[in-house]
Copies of this chain bind each other. A is one copy, B any other.
């Protein structure tokens, strides 16, 4: 029966919603106004927009609310790493048949990898071997 797991239930988070999540992953809990302070300018949004996104995220089970006087404070319910994981996986799945190496190869070929990236990856590889 439990084909849908509430906690893990990855109700797809849209791009605009994701921008809001980033703010809250960076710092939480925050009020709608706080979130707006961080993103509204940057994305050209108005407060109502932020509120809509927050509500949608709450319905999607991605955020929790806690009352603070007459307003709400929002906090992430899903972890950033979980989100990042699903999204990365989706991409790798969709574009590279689930294999990560081709993605890497692609990034390498298109020079999307900086020297720093490469050094870092080598370090990680070494790390993994231990």
Residues of A within 8 A of B (CB): 15, 18, 81, 84-85, 87-89, 91-92, 94-96, 99-101, 103-108, 110, 112-114, 116-118, 120-122, 124-125, 128
* Residues in B whose Cβ lies below 8 Å from that of A110: 85
Q: Tell me which residues across on chain B come within 8 A of A120, comparing CB atoms.
A: 101, 104-105
Instruction: Tell me the nearest residue of chain B to A93, going by C-beta.
Output: B112
| Copies of the protein in its oligomer | 2
Closest beta carbon of chain B to A1's beta carbon, Å: 23
Of the candidates B84, B103, B128, the one whose C-beta lies within 8 Å of that of A95 is B84
16 inter-chain pairs at a CB distance below 8 angstroms, sorted by A residue, are A18-B94, A84-B95, A84-B106, A85-B110, A85-B112, A87-B95, A99-B116, A100-B113, A100-B117, A104-B104, A104-B117, A104-B120, A104-B124, A105-B120, A108-B128, A122-B125
